[in-house]
Amino acid sequence: MDNRRFMNLWYISCCLTRTRSIYTLFPGR
């Protein structure tokens, strides 16, 4: 269970970082 939670947290973190980088590249959009 703990491992699954860790993976889920890591996945969300990765997604957030990707979205953040995209917004930084295109602040207008």
pLDDT at 4: 92
**Residue 22 and residue 3: Cα distance in Å, rounded?**
29
- Amino acid code (one letter) for 24: T
Counting every residue written for the chain, the total comes to 29
Q: What share of the chain is helix, strand, coil (3-state, %, to 5)?
A: 85, 0, 15
pLDDT digits (tens, 9 = 90+) for 1-29: 688 999 999 998 888 888 888 777 776 65
Please say whether the dihedral angle defined by the alpha carbons of residues 13, 15, 17 and 19, taken in this order, is positive or negative. Answer: negative
